[in-house]
Amino acid sequence: MFGLKLGAICAAGPAMGLLAPTLFGIAADGLDIRVGLLQIACGGALFAFASLAVAMGFGVPLGFGGLLFAALAIALFRTPMSLMADVLALERAPRTGTTYGRFRLWGSVGFLTATLLAGLWVDPRGALVFPIVCSSALALGFVSSLALPRHAELPDRGDGEGLARLLRDGPLRMLLVATFLGQCGHVAYDMGFSIYLFDLGVPRGWVGVAWALGTGSEVLLMAWSAPVFRRFADPSLLAFGLAAGAARWVLLTVVRSPGLILLLQPLHALSFGLVWLAAVSYTARRYPSRSLATAQGLFVTAVGTGSITGMLLWGPVYQRGGGSFMFAGAACFSACAAVVAVALDRKTRAEKAAYGTTT
């Protein structure tokens, strides 16, 4: 019974992540607001985490129901935060003389910082430390969101497209399928890479270096990706990144040397960084009007669906066949995603030739 309750609490976040981004995206387009929803998301996540910290600090017994409600509340506001930040970055980057990638890299820097500091500050045996640290980080995010101009001039937003119309768009459906399949493959890395290295006997210090090297290469790509996106079409870059991911997972099935594994880590810039930038850029170019936030919400939902599917799949696969078997399966998912992205690229080129579109 304990395992079932724990599983329900852990699943609350990903499950809410399937709904909240799209709902926030629809609201952002329908109400024509951006910063206000970002502030609501930041403030709501802060309140939920801070309430959990206060309850635990005063020894209030929450029980299964209380913990489940807290997990749902945190996820309801936490998952749309990155969505709304992405939409703001996409809309405002061109008017500030920068690129979306240079905004987005700070999310990767935050992940890298949290990864390095969590081991120093967060003790799994101290249950109160985790919500306090998270509440502090969310407080900084909330304060930062208050500094954003709420009524800044937005680009011409045109006529909005409803959710149903977006879902009838063939290229968008292809993008969502490619995103889902690619994330199914990539979450094998998120879940099993460290365990796989430990099983290979890689020293603990090397594991941290490997993660830092991968995320660092992602940051560099996002900082200097503008010339690449000016020269190549978004779907072409998406297909290339997914194919690079498939090659990366295949190589991990055969490489055993810690040094060679470190040499493979810069491929993270392609398998994650390039794929994310290309998908986000495609939705922004195809839906630059009032449907942008809704389209981005659908993209985030596809990512979340792929993550949940992969989480349910790769654990048993690793247990039965080990890391090599898991990464071989991940390569199959990424390869299938690349095939869908190639089809999207061809369709987009045909549209451009016929109608002169810019996607």
Give tens-digit pLDDT for 238-271: 999 999 999 999 999 999 898 999 999 999 999 9
Instruction: Calculate ∠ Cα 127-311-55, nearest 5°.
Output: 20
Q: How is domain 162-359 classified at the CATH fold level?
A: Growth Hormone; Chain: A; (1.20.1250)
Give tens-digit pLDDT for 39-66: 999 999 999 989 988 988 888 888 888 8
Report pLDDT for 159: 47
CB atoms within 10 A of CB 308: 19
- Alpha-carbon distances of 300 from 8, 294, 306, rounded to whole Å: 22, 10, 10
Give the rounded percent of residues in the chain with a pLDDT score beyond 90. 47
Q: Which residues of 249-286 are buried (b: 16+ CB within 10 A; e: fewer)?
A: bbbbbebeebeebeebbbbbbbbbbbbbbbbbbbbbbb
**What residue segments make up the domains of the chain, in order of their start?**
9-146, 162-359
Query: Residues 327, 332, 336, 341: is their CA dihedral positive or negative?
Result: positive
Report pLDDT for 153: 44
Dist. CA 75–CA 16, nearest whole Å: 6
Residues of the chain with pLDDT under 50: 152-159, 358
Report pLDDT for 207: 86
Report pLDDT for 167: 85
